[in-house]
Amino acid sequence: MSSEIESVLVENRVFPPFANLVKEAAISGMQAYRDLCAEAERAPDEFWGRLARENLRWHKPFTQVLDESEAPFYRWFGDGELNISANCLDKHLDTPTANKTALIFESDDGKVSKVTYKELHARVCELANGLKALGHSKGERAILYMPMSIEAVVAMQACARLGIIHSVVFGGFSSKSLHERTIDVGATLVITADEQVRGGKTIPLKNAVDEALDAGGCEAVRHVVVYRRTGGQVAWKEGRDLWLHDVCANQPPVCEPVPVNAEHPLFILYTSGSTGRPKGVQHSSAGYLLWSLMTVKWTFDAKDSDVFWCTADVGWVTGHTYITYGPLAAGLTQVVFEGVPTYPNAGRFWEMIQRHKVTVFYTAPTAIRSLTKAAESNPDIHPRRYDLNSLRIIGSVGEPINPEAWMWYYTHVGRERCPVLDTWWQTETGAHMITPLPGVTPLKPGSCTLPLPGISMAVVDEAGEDVEHGKGGFLVAKRPWPAMIRTIWGDPERFKSAYFPPELKGYYLAGDGAQRDQDGYFWIMGRIDDVLNVSGHRLGTMEVESALVSHELVAEAAVVGRPDATTGEAVVAFVVLNRSLPEGDDAVAIAKQLRDWVAKEIGPIAKPKDIRFGENLPKTRSGKIMRRLLRVVAKGEQVTQDVSTLENPGILDQLSQAH
């Protein structure tokens, strides 16, 4: 067990909920929470059915809540029909929310623009009408490769309005990743921008799309719709490429939402698994939106007066659930930010909270850790320099938040009067699963605390039996929930084997290790598979290895994670070249070349922090790479394990040299 996990487990500070928040909370007090949990357990169909009727607008009401006949291919509200965009926008039009600000957009260079719900609805309708006029319709797949912008939200909502299934590819991914995803979803439409702007730099997007589509296999793409963000130079393919403003021009600001079945896929989002290529996680319409909305109401205790800010990119699930869908369905005003937390300086987040009077702030531990470092070395951008009094709730997502980062966030950002909500969930779960509630849960730094009502999380052993509190095991969900992954796009067998291994009694296997303490609180102990979490981004070690071995100089590669004080984990690559062992400047130059190569193959987030060269990798006599040893070497620790089964023990010394 690493020393960090040990330090987490001896954590015994407890912070009771704040009286003012308990008083006004949607779920107020531990008893109210327990009652909801009991209701969900006693009569799950009634519980979920009630929530779905009370919180969604149905075009055709459902008669069955959960259909388990094809488990684990669960169907929720399966004979109902609705439209997701209508549930996020149209439902507000005949209420005072219509004229409320929906989005406050702040660009990289600090320009602010706002749209009301009415205006957002009109813009979504214009684009939907434009796409319809181009012949796109329900069931088709669209790839979205967009900068953070109002247009990105509009594009996602316009797809949802027509029943077009979107697959957003994070703007930091390479054209190669874009190419693979375009083929895998069978896209007929791409929506992108000329360039994106982050931290004062422009990065081409349309060029990457051209490269991806030219690489072959993407002939199904009929149109590329381009949002003009910077006016930078782009190549143009007549007939295929269209400016977004031209597509929308002269379109009426009203577009009838297309009703879809509750189970119609709303989106496909790629994420890393332990083996093979990234998998296309397929989400439903009704179940997904229901839980996105409920968690905005319960976890963030949404109030009409809130200014909500989730700092995630729409390229990740957090941006889907807590920017494009949940907060809009809840009628909140929210901030959408184009840039990065450190530009023009590392006070940007605090300055924006002050400027827009943000009340609920949701970010990632990596950001907190890097801003802590910056603030502690430069008092001018310390959060204490800013007026953060508007804040009432602060949240964290994406990776374990260590108690030190938690305390800093709580003390300096929350000023000891805002709860830190450490929300545990995944791309596959659609929305929050285990999280404190502001009006209910005593907090312990480093624990995501307790499951939401209706969510049956447990820690089990290899046979699916509950382990005692205090012992580690696999984190599972025993019962299905509405926002769960429906399948892996195009690969139902992989869906079954990855998430519902037969020995676990049909439970959903999250892929994380966890343990519960005496109070039943969950402590997440990191992935149990070969998935790394770098700055809150999931990366498969296999993906990085395949990228490395596709380079002409590389014969073999093994990738492991190493704990990192800022990014959580860092990528360390062990590489065997198909030439002599490089030394000195030569080694440094090749290491740089390989890093750039990985950035081009996958994206900059996958760049190995360390590259170690060896004449071989540590292998057993049967030829299996001993990753366990590589993890020790990557940490710079002395190998104390038995290496007698190693074919080539001497190789470990060679691999200890970083470049």
Q: Which residues contact ligand WTA by CB under 6 A?
A: 271, 317-318, 397-400, 422-427, 448, 510-512, 524, 527, 533, 538
Identity of the residue, 318 or 515, whose beta carbon is nearer to ligand WTA in the bound complex: 318
| Minimum CB distance to ligand WTA, residue 520 (Å) | 17
Is 535 marked as binding a ligand? Answer: yes
Identity of the residue, 106 or 399, whose beta carbon is nearer to ligand WTA in the bound complex: 399
Cα(305)–Cα(425) distance, integer angstroms: 26
Is 398 marked as binding a ligand? Answer: yes
Strands 307-310 and 333-337: parallel
| Minimum CB distance to ligand WTA, residue 632 (Å) | 21
Q: Strand ranges (DSSP E) for 541-643?
A: 554-564, 568-577, 610-613
Identity of the residue, 105 or 361, whose beta carbon is nearer to ligand WTA in the bound complex: 361
| Minimum CB distance to ligand WTA, residue 433 (Å) | 9
Is 579 marked as binding a ligand? Answer: no
DSSP per residue over 336-366, as a string? Answer: EE-S-TTSS-TTHHHHHHHHHT-SEEEE-HH
Identity of the residue, 104 or 450, whose beta carbon is nearer to ligand WTA in the bound complex: 450
Cα(353)–Cα(460) distance, integer angstroms: 41
Cα(323)–Cα(314) distance, integer angstroms: 7
Strands 189-193 and 141-145: parallel
Instruction: Please give the residue whose beta carbon sits closest to ligand WTA in the complex.
Output: 427
The residues, ordered by sequence, that sit 6+ positions from 197 with a Cβ below 8 Å of its Cβ are 107, 108, 109, 147, 203, 229, 230, 338, 339
Buried b (16+ CB within 10 A) or exposed e, 122-138: bbbbbbbbbbbeeebee
**Looking only at Cα atoms, what is the longest distance across the chain?**
74
Identity of the residue, 287 or 511, whose beta carbon is nearer to ligand WTA in the bound complex: 511
Is 222 marked as binding a ligand? Answer: no
| Minimum CB distance to ligand WTA, residue 4 (Å) | 12
Identity of the residue, 151 or 512, whose beta carbon is nearer to ligand WTA in the bound complex: 512
Identity of the residue, 211 or 491, whose beta carbon is nearer to ligand WTA in the bound complex: 491
| Minimum CB distance to ligand WTA, residue 371 (Å) | 18
Is 135 marked as binding a ligand? Answer: no
Under a CB-based contact definition with an 8 Å cutoff, are residues 301 and 21 in contact? Answer: yes
| Minimum CB distance to ligand WTA, residue 98 (Å) | 31
Identity of the residue, 192 or 533, whose beta carbon is nearer to ligand WTA in the bound complex: 533
The residues, ordered by sequence, that sit 6+ positions from 285 with a Cβ below 8 Å of its Cβ are 82, 84, 160, 260, 261, 262, 263, 264, 265, 266
Is 200 marked as binding a ligand? Answer: yes
Cα(437)–Cα(17) distance, integer angstroms: 9
| Minimum CB distance to ligand WTA, residue 533 (Å) | 5
Cis peptide before 445 (omega within 30 of 0): no
Is 653 marked as binding a ligand? Answer: no
Under a CB-based contact definition with an 8 Å cutoff, are residues 484 and 428 in contact? Answer: yes
- Residue recorded with tokens 């791409």: 190
Is 186 marked as binding a ligand? Answer: no
Using CB atoms within 10 A of its CB, is residue 395 exposed (0-12), middle (13-18) or buried (19+)? buried
Is 427 marked as binding a ligand? Answer: yes
Is 201 marked as binding a ligand? Answer: yes
| Minimum CB distance to ligand WTA, residue 300 (Å) | 15
Cα(396)–Cα(420) distance, integer angstroms: 7
The three-point CA angle 181-184-186 to 5° equals: 105
Identity of the residue, 151 or 543, whose beta carbon is nearer to ligand WTA in the bound complex: 543
| Number of Cβ within a 10 Å radius of residue 587 | 18
Beta bridge partners of 423: 397
* Displacement of CA 76 from its chain's centroid (Å): 23
Is 643 marked as binding a ligand? Answer: no
| Minimum CB distance to ligand WTA, residue 400 (Å) | 4
Identity of the residue, 154 or 514, whose beta carbon is nearer to ligand WTA in the bound complex: 514
Is 301 marked as binding a ligand? Answer: no
554 phi and psi angles, rounded to 5 deg = -100, 130
| Minimum CB distance to ligand WTA, residue 430 (Å) | 10
Is 101 marked as binding a ligand? Answer: no
Identity of the residue, 481 or 597, whose beta carbon is nearer to ligand WTA in the bound complex: 481
Under a CB-based contact definition with an 8 Å cutoff, are residues 375 and 382 in contact? Answer: yes
Cα(321)–Cα(284) distance, integer angstroms: 12
Is 4 marked as binding a ligand? Answer: no
Identity of the residue, 174 or 426, whose beta carbon is nearer to ligand WTA in the bound complex: 426
297 phi and psi angles, rounded to 5 deg = -70, -40
| Minimum CB distance to ligand WTA, residue 198 (Å) | 20
In the numeric block, which tokens belong to residue 211? 């490269």
The residues, ordered by sequence, that sit 6+ positions from 185 with a Cβ below 8 Å of its Cβ are 141, 143, 165, 167, 268, 280, 489
Is 272 marked as binding a ligand? Answer: no
Is 404 marked as binding a ligand? Answer: no
Is 422 marked as binding a ligand? Answer: yes
| Minimum CB distance to ligand WTA, residue 319 (Å) | 10
Cα(9)–Cα(188) distance, integer angstroms: 50
| Minimum CB distance to ligand WTA, residue 322 (Å) | 9
Identity of the residue, 175 or 299, whose beta carbon is nearer to ligand WTA in the bound complex: 299
Annotated binding site: which residue ranges?
A: 198-201, 318, 398-400, 422-427, 512, 527, 535, 538, 549, 551, 554
Binding-site entries for ATP: 398-400, 422-427, 512, 527, 538
Binding-site residue positions for CoA:
198-201, 318, 535
